[in-house]
Amino acid sequence: MDGTSDAPDGLLTTGDGTPLKTALARATRRAKLKAVVLVLPLLLFVLVTFAVPIGQMLYLSVYSPVFADNMPRLSAYLMANPVTEVPGEAAFEALVLDLKDARKNRTHAQVGTRVNYEKAGSTSLFKSTARRLRKIDGPPYKEKLLALKPAWDDLHLWTVMERAAHRHTLSFYASALDLGYDAKGDLVRAPEERRIYGLLFQRTLLLSALIAGLCLLLGYPVAHLLANLPLKYSNLLMVLVLLPFWTSLLVRTTSWITLLQSQGVLNDLMVWIGIVGDDGRIQLMYNQAGTVIAMTHIMLPFMILPLYSVMKTVPKDFVRAARSLGAGPVTAFVRVYFPQTVPGIGAGVLLVFIISVGYYITPALVGGSSGQLISNQIAFHMLQSLNWGLAAALGALLLGGVLLLYWLYDRLVGVDNMKLG
Amino acid sequence: MNIQRGNEQTSDHAPAPGPSAVAGAGVRFDNVQKSYDGETLVVDGLNLDIAPGEFLTMLGPSGSGKTTTLMMLAGFEPATHGEIFLNDQPINNVPPHKRGIGMVFQNYALFPHMTVAENLAFPLSVRNTPRAEIEAKVARALEMVELPDFGNRRPAQLSGGQQQRVAVARALVFDPALILMDEPLGALDKQLREQMQYEIKHIHANLGVTVVYVTHDQSEALTMADRICVFDKGIVQQLSTPDELYEKPANSFVAQFIGENNRLSGTVKEVSGDECRVDLDGGGTVTALAVNTDGPGSRATLSIRPERVVLAAQDGGSGRGDVPNRLSARVEELIYLGDHIRIRMTVAGRDDFVVKLRNDGTRCPLKAGDETAVGWLAADCRALDPIDD
């Protein structure tokens, strides 16, 4: 009897009658368990420090409880009674009582800020109203409040508050997409002068594509050289490619400022040579040109390394074969060498593009106002306007866009064909 | 020049369909030298005439300069000095794609992003051949290598042997007059390699193209070539037909490199006519053909093929009158190899002396440890240049 035998139902079994598949699964379980244990620390680390916070942050883009938590009476009323006009006494009573509590808890400014996201001027309205609420000590609340602050007689304000009363909201996404609600609560496009995010997204994608294209143009020949030079020269060249990589990002960015500013090295050189006059110095910094130049330089290694790793695997014999078969140097390159490097191009372009789309420091330092990218606006809402919901919505849109591009790339080129090194 | 060779060598072989028979090209190397670093010569003073339609094999150990020579002929390496002629035209300044030389590479170099048919169409399409003609030629080429249904596959979906055939077909499809092959069978297993050797040989015979074939495998060279050019240290050691190379090696390197060889070192005592007497270092004096020696007093290495050695045990130990060279020997080891038995012996102080005994059905008369005698004809023993070992 050998190790395996045929069971009556045709399944292979081991000598003692266990199905072969079961025995195999048992044998490999230990190895799988070992693998899981080995990656567990990193998995937990990433989960706790990265995945969970990001998830929470993204949740903020649809979850905004500040109004509902601090204005419980008014929220209850607004949930029960849809707003079609400025509501009556009951709503104003809830508003005044909630606002008094909020002032006691010092949360009235937060509530005002939340409403202010959708209707400008609300923060100051909430603050000044709360300050003077002592004067209202009994009904009729509506009459007294409107006498005190006529601004409350505004249907738009009430529709905004109605939406804010819901803990879950899509209004941050609406803002991020340059949409807003009109007085009646219908979704409309924001006024022309306030449509900044669409423009920023567009600019971010365009500049990232431009940077990826420039990196490809500049990096392709270098990667080819790297892959084909004798080892001693290619090692030296590789160090030169990687050296900026090891230098601090801030140092590199500030050195670009020194080079590119209007009194900087490059402009001085051009004036000295006589290409431009002293009064015609070219503005290369604090605009889109600055962002593109500095970021192209910073992204180059991300293009060269995947290209190099692919080119390294293309045998020299391919081009030689093409040449011997009658193809000139250009034809051999276009029809034989270039197609072999497409996976590297895909990987490099995708890598540079994705990193550029989310890039923050360099545009912040050298971009001026016209060279700002969407990430700078996200940072602004995170750190200065403290509108985390909008920041999260912008971030989520950015993430979604990148994933969409990745999916498109997978459909067109195939991720399996991509080599990152 | 430009003689149509046709099918004169293939009377026993049906003419294969495929690229049309073309007149082979002649190649001449005129004192060609090649150096990569300016300090050492990889190819040193190469003079070589390759006749139209010839199958010439360049044979040598790695680093002997044979591949470099091939690359110079293909145009991928410039000659440092000297001139290469293709059909009497100097081609040193002709770029590779204008030389019209087909080439088969060691790892086939099939373009992985193209199908087999696209690979075969490549040399035709870069020459702007009309589409209909391309299709016809590709189909014929596929038929020639017996892969008619493989046009739509990718190279990666083929076995090594099939890729090899496609590579050969691609090098032939544009009817070049000269084909270069750089160790094309190196990656195949032994059985497939031997089969492909015959196929390539037959294709060559059918088409009449000139083939320059590089290999380090001497049995492959002996099987396939009209002439073999043996390289070592950048110098052509000998250029002859396979039988002459084996029977009459010009120096010790060739004797050692081609086939199995017994070496005995000694000093030349006297030279008379084309024969000489040599005192062996391990004792004894033998007569040998004076092929490559410097006269009395000089050192020499004797070369004797294992199958030319006569065992005393074979002729009943009486000794044969026509075997003048007789030396005592001790059997060290018997190795059974099917068609023959290899007997390793100690002769004249060397324990790597090998005798081949044909397996004719009788039992081997010797066993390890036996003392016996060996002998050989003077004509089978060549006194060559001395080498250290």
- Whether A16 has a pLDDT exceeding 90, the answer reads no
Interface touch B174/A326, C-beta < 8 Å: yes
A-B contacts (CB, under 8 Å)? 68
The domain defined by B262-384 folds into OB fold (Dihydrolipoamide Acetyltransferase, E2P) (2.40.50)
Residue A2: the pLDDT is 46
Residue B22 has pLDDT above 70, yes or no: no
Q: What pLDDT, on the 0 to 100 scale, is given for residue B375?
A: 86
Residues spanned by the domain of A80: 66-194
Round to whole Å and give the CA distance between B49 and B27.
6
Mean of the per-residue pLDDT values for chain B?
Answer: 86
pLDDT higher than threshold 70 for residue B9: no
pLDDT value for A84: 86
- Alpha carbon of B31: minimum distance to chain A alpha carbons (Å): 24
Interface of A with B (CB under 8 A): 315, 317-318, 320-329, 331-332, 335-336, 339-340
Å between B4 CA and nearest CA of chain A: 23
Indicate if A208 and A169 belong to the same structural domain: no
CA distance A340 to chain B (A): 7
Q: Which of B75, B76, B126 sits opposite A325 (nearest CB)?
A: B126
Mean pLDDT of A332-336: 93
* Residue A361 or residue B5, greater confidence: A361
Distance from CA of A396 to the nearest CA of B (A): 38
Closest to A71 (Cα-Cα) out of A37, A100, A50, A32: A100
Look up the CATH architecture of domain B27-247. 3-Layer(aba) Sandwich (3.40)
- Residue B317: band (very low, low, confident or very high) from pLDDT cuts 50, 70, 90: very low
Question: Does residue A369 lie within any of the structural domains?
Answer: yes
Distance CA B100, CA B75 (A): 11
Q: Give the residue from chain A lying closest to B172, CA to CA.
A: A325
The neighbour count for residue A223, using CB atoms within 10 Å, is 28
Q: Which residue has the higher pLDDT, A20 or A161?
A: A161
Task: Give the pLDDT confidence score for residue A3 in this predicted structure.
Answer: 45
Alpha helices in A81-196 (DSSP H): 89-104, 108-116, 122-131, 141-148, 155-165, 171-176
Percent of chain A with pLDDT over 70: 96
Domain boundaries, chain B: 27-247, 262-384
Residue A307 has pLDDT above 90, yes or no: yes
A209 and A188, same structural domain? no
How many CA atoms are closer than 13 Å to the CA of A250, on its beta-carbon side? Answer: 0
Q: Which of B248, B252, B290, B249 is nearest to B268 (CA)?
A: B290
Please count the structural domains in chain A. 2
pLDDT tens per residue across span A201-221 = 999 999 999 999 999 999 999
Percent of chain A at pLDDT exceeding 90: 38
- Chain B residues with CB under 8 Å of a chain A CB are 74-76, 95-97, 99-103, 105-107, 109, 111-113, 122-123, 126-127, 170-171, 174, 180
User: Which residues of chain A neighbour B112 with C-beta distances below 8 Å?
Assistant: 340
Is the confidence at residue B7, as pLDDT, over 50? no
Clarify whether residues A254 and A143 are in a common domain. Answer: no
Residue A264 lies in a domain: yes
- How confident is the model over A58-115, as pLDDT tens digits? 999 999 999 999 999 999 999 888 888 888 888 999 999 999 999 999 998 899 999 9
Burial class (CB in 10 A: 0-12, 13-18, 19+), A6: exposed
Instruction: Give the Cβ contact number of residue A336 at 10 Å.
Output: 24
| Nearest Cβ partner for A326 among B76, B107, B123 | B123
Question: Where would I find the H helices in chain B?
Answer: 66-74, 116-125, 131-144, 160-172, 190-207, 218-224, 242-247, 252-257
Determine, for residues B174 and A325 on separate chains, whether the beta-carbon distance falls below 8 Å: yes
pLDDT of residue B13: 42
Strand partners, B57: B213, B228
Shared domain for A176 and A223, answered yes or no, is no
Please answer yes or no on whether A335 and B112 come within 8 Å at the CB atom. no
The verdict on a CB contact (< 8 Å) between A324 and B97 is yes
Q: What is the pLDDT of residue B19?
A: 60
- A360 lies in the same domain as A212: yes
Give me the interface pTM, i.e. the ipTM: 0.80
Of the partner residues B75, B107, B126, the one whose CB lies closest to the CB of residue A327: B126
Is the pLDDT assigned to residue A10 strictly greater than 80?
Answer: no
Q: Which residues pair with B180 in a beta bridge?
A: B103, B212
Which tens digit of pLDDT belongs to each residue from B234-256?
899 999 999 999 989 988 999 98
Q: Do A216 and A363 share a structural domain? A: yes
Inside any domain, residue A86: yes
Q: How does residue A420 score in pLDDT terms, banded at 50, 70 and 90?
A: low
Tell me the pLDDT tens digit for each residue of B167-191. 999 998 998 999 999 998 888 888 8
Residues A348 and A321 in one domain: yes
Give the nearest chain A residue to B110 (CA atoms).
Answer: A318
Q: Which residues of B touch A335 (CB under 8 A)?
A: 122, 126
pLDDT band at B118 (very low <50, low <70, confident <90, very high): very high
Closest CA of chain B from A2, distance in Å? 32
Averaged pLDDT, A286-293: 90
**Residue among B345, B313, B317 at smallest CA distance from B330:** B345
Q: What is the pLDDT of residue B16?
A: 43
Paired tokens of A160: 């905004």
Q: How confident is the model at residue A132 (pLDDT cuts 50, 70, 90)?
A: confident
Q: Closest Cα of chain A to B174: distance in Å?
A: 8
**Inter-chain CB proximity B103 and A315 less than 8 Å:** no
Q: Does A340 sit within 8 Å of B76, measured CB to CB?
A: no
Q: How many CB atoms lie within 10 A of CB B25?
A: 26
pLDDT at A386 over 80: yes
Cα–Cα nearest to A357, from A303, A403, A390, A289 = A403
Please check whether residues A164 and A90 belong to one and the same domain.
yes
The answer to whether position A339 is within a domain reads yes
**Minimal CA separation from A324 to chain B, in Å:** 5
Shortest CA distance from A325: residue in chain B:
B123
Does residue B312 carry a pLDDT above 90? no
- The SS3 of residue B97 is helix
What is the pLDDT at residue B6? 39
Q: Which residues from chain A sit within 8 angstroms of residue B107, using beta carbons?
A: 315, 317
Give me the CATH number covering residue A382.
1.10.3720.10
Q: Residue A8: what pLDDT? A: 55
Closest in B76, B112, B174 to A320, CB measured: B76
Give the residue ranges of DSSP H helices in A180-287. 197-228, 231-246, 249-260, 265-273
Chain A residues near residue B126 by CB distance under 8 angstroms: 325-328, 331, 335
Compute the mean pLDDT over every residue in chain A, rounded to the nearest whole number.
88
- A179, A194, A209 — which closes off a domain? A194
